[in-house]
Structure 1
Amino acid sequence: MTVEIAMLFWAAVLGLVQVGAQSFAYKAQEGNSYTVGARDEHRPAAGLAGRMERALRNFFETFPIFAAVILAVYATERSNQWSEIGAQVYFWGRLAYVPAYAVGLPWIRTFIWQIATIGIVLCMVPLFDKALLTVLTE
C-alpha cells in the first residue's frame, strides 16, 4: 500500500468520525425525541452542532478532490515524495481542522484549511507534467 492510499484510507476514516461527531453534537442540541423521529420540522444546528455541521460540509467539499488526485497518482504510478508529503499534509491538516472549527478559532481554522489545501496541490505535482504534455500533444 502506498503512503497516498494509506492517507486516503485514513481520510475516509476521519470523514466517518466527523459524521459521528456531528451527529452526536446535534443529538445533544435537540435530544433523542427529535433526532430519532422523522424530523419533519427543520431545526437548524447551532453552536457546537452548527460548527460540526459546517466542518463536515467543508470536508465533503475537499475530500472528493483529494480522493480523485490520489487515485490519479496511484493509477498512473506517478507517486513520489511530493504526493507522499502532500497526502500526509492533507490528512493531518484535516484532522487539525476539526477541533479548530469545533472550538471556533477563526483565523487558525482558516490557516489550517489552507495547509490541508496545499496538501492537495502537492499531491498534484507529479501529475502536472504528464497532464500538460497530454493536453498539448492531443
Structure 2
Amino acid sequence: MSVELQMLGWSVVLGLVYVLVAAAFGTWQRGLRWNAGNRDGEADPLAKYAARADRANRNFLETFAFFAAATLAVVAMHKAGAQTATGAQIYFWARVAYLPVYVLGIPYLRTAIWIASLWGILQMLEALLR
C-alpha cells in the first residue's frame, strides 16, 4: 500500500479521534444525561475547551475532504512519489498536532500548524496537476 493511502487510512482514524474528543468535552460540559438523552430543545452553548474541540473537529472535517480527494486522485492517476508521500505525511502529522494545540488555545502555533497541513495538500495537488 502506498504511503499516501496509509496516511489517508490513518487520517480517517484521526478524524474519529477528533469526533470522540469533541464529544467527550461536550459531555464533560453538558453532562452524561444530556449526551444520552434525546437532546430535545436548545443545548447550552459550548464553552472554552468543549467549544475549541468542537471547532477543531469542524476544521478537520473541512480539510479532510480535500486531502482525501487529492490522495485518491494522486493514486488513481499514478502520480504518487516522494513529493506526494511527504505531503500526505505532513498533512497527517500537522492534523495530529492541531487538535491539542487548538484545545489548549495556542493561537499562532495553531495557525502555523493549519498552514502546514494545507501545504501538505498543496504538495499533492502540485504533483497531480503537473
TM-score by length of 2: 0.97
Secondary structure at the counterpart of residue 85 of structure 2? helix
How many angstroms does 1:125 deviate by? 1.9
Secondary structure at the counterpart of residue 38 of structure 1? coil
How many angstroms does 1:108 deviate by? 0.6
- Write out per-residue CA displacement over residues 16-66 of structure 1, whole angstroms, 9 at most, x where no aligned residue: 011111111100001111111111122221111100000000000000000
Structure 2 gap segments, 5+ residues each: none
What's the Cα RMSD here? Answer: 0.7
Hey, what's the Cα distance between the residues in 2 that align with 1:45 and 1:74? 40
Hey, what's the Cα distance between the residues in 1 that align with 2:36 and 2:9? 30
Instruction: State, as a whole percentage, how many aligned pairs show the same letter.
Output: 43
Letter in 2 for 1:20: L
Hey, what's the Cα distance between the residues in 1 that align with 2:33 and 2:85? 46
Hey, what's the Cα distance between the residues in 1 that align with 2:66 and 2:48? 28
Alignment of 1:1-138 (within 5 A): 1-43=1-43, 44-129=45-130
Structure 1 gap segments, 5+ residues each: 130-138
Q: Which residue of 2 aligns with 1:136?
A: none
Hey, what's the Cα distance between the residues in 2 that align with 1:31 and 1:62? 30
Q: Which is greater in Rg?
A: 1
Hey, what's the Cα distance between the residues in 1 that align with 2:8 and 2:81? 15
TM-score by length of 1: 0.91
Hey, what's the Cα distance between the residues in 1 that align with 2:42 and 2:109? 31
Secondary structure at the counterpart of residue 96 of structure 1? helix
